[in-house]
Amino acid sequence: MPDKLGNIIEVFPSVQGEGYQMGVMQLFVRFAGCNLHCRFCDTASSWDIPKQFPIYPWPGGRQILLANPVSPDRLFETIDQMYPLKAFHSISFTGGEPLYQHEFILPLMEKFHQSGKKIFVESNGTLPDEIKTLMDKVSFWSLDLKLSRAWGIKGAVIGKHRKCLQLLPPSKTYLKLVLDSNDDPNEILEDLSKIPISEFAVALQPFYDGGISHFDWDCNSILEWIALLTPIFAQVRWIPQIHKLLRIP
C-alpha cells in the first residue's frame, strides 16, 4: 500500500528560537493545516495548502519548489540531497499542526531515523490518538498549553491537553504556555489544576502578534508569573521568541 501524500508549507534551516531547545540548529519542516484556528496565530498562513512549497537552501545552494501533495520518499530524497543532515541537532516538525497529517509523517520520520536524525515535534497538544501512534518515533516534544484568553479557544482544549500529557514522558517533553499580559493568573491556575503538569518543565512565552509584544511586560510582571507557577511545574523558565527578535525564520 503506497504511503499517504502530505502537504507542506516550507522547509528551511535555522536555529530553534523558542522553548528549552532554543539556539540549537534544526531543519524545520512546516506542515500545512491545523485542527485549531487560534486568534493571533503566528503561522496562520499554514492553514491553507499552497500548490507549491519552497525548500530554502543551505548556504551556497539554491531554493527549489516542490508540488503539493508530496510523497514521503520525494520529500526526504530532496531534503537529503540539499542539506548536510549530520549538521543538524534534530529535524523539527512544526506547523500548522504536524500531527494533523500523522499518516504522512510516520513514514517520513522512519526515513529520518534511518539517516540517524532525531525528531522534534511542536504540537498544540490536542490530538492524543495521533500522539499515541507516533510517540515512539519522536525524540523531543514541545506541547502548547492553549489556556490564554488571547487564543480565543479558552476551555475547549483542557480535556485534550490532559489526555496528551497522560501519554507523554516528561523526560522527552516540555510544555509551552503563551501568556497575554492581560491574562488573569487565577484563571490560568484553575485551568492548570485540571491538567497533570507537575512533572513537566514549562517555558512561559509572551504573545508577540496582534499588537501585543514583548515590551508589554516589565520585570515585576515576569517575576510574578514565574513565582506563581514555579510550585506547580517541575521547572519554569521565561523564554520569549528569540527568532522574532533576531528577524530570522
Nine cell digits for residue 43:
503561522
Cα-only R_g, the chain = 18
Cβ distance 88 to 44 under 8 Å? no
Q: Using a cut of 0.75, tell me whether the model's pTM lies above it.
A: yes
Among 93, 115, 90, CA closest to 32? 93
Show the DSSP H helices in 7-122 as ranges.
72-82, 102-114
**What is the residue whose three cell numbers read 508549507?**
9
Identify the pLDDT of residue 220: 93
E strands within the chain?
Answer: 8-15, 25-31, 52-55, 64-67, 90-94, 119-123, 140-144, 173-179, 201-206, 235-238
Identify the pLDDT of residue 166: 97
- Report residue 72 CA to chain centroid gap: 20
User: Could you give phi then psi for residue 67, rounded to 5 degrees?
Assistant: -90, 145
Q: How many CB atoms lie within 10 A of CB 63?
A: 10
Identify the pLDDT of residue 133: 94
Residue pLDDT, tens place only, 152-168: 776 679 999 999 999 99
Identify the pLDDT of residue 210: 44
Question: Considering all CA atoms of the chain, what is the largest pairwise distance in Å, rounded to the nearest integer?
Answer: 58
Identify the pLDDT of residue 41: 65
Q: What is the helix (H) or strand (E) element at residue 229, kind and residue range?
A: helix 219-229
Residues of the chain with pLDDT under 50: 210-212
Q: Which domains does the chain show, CATH number per domain?
A: 8-246 (3.20.20.70)
Could you check whether the bond before residue 69 is cis, i.e. omega within 30 degrees of 0? Answer: yes
Look up residue 119 and give its amino acid. Answer: I
E strands within 107-185?
Answer: 119-123, 140-144, 173-179
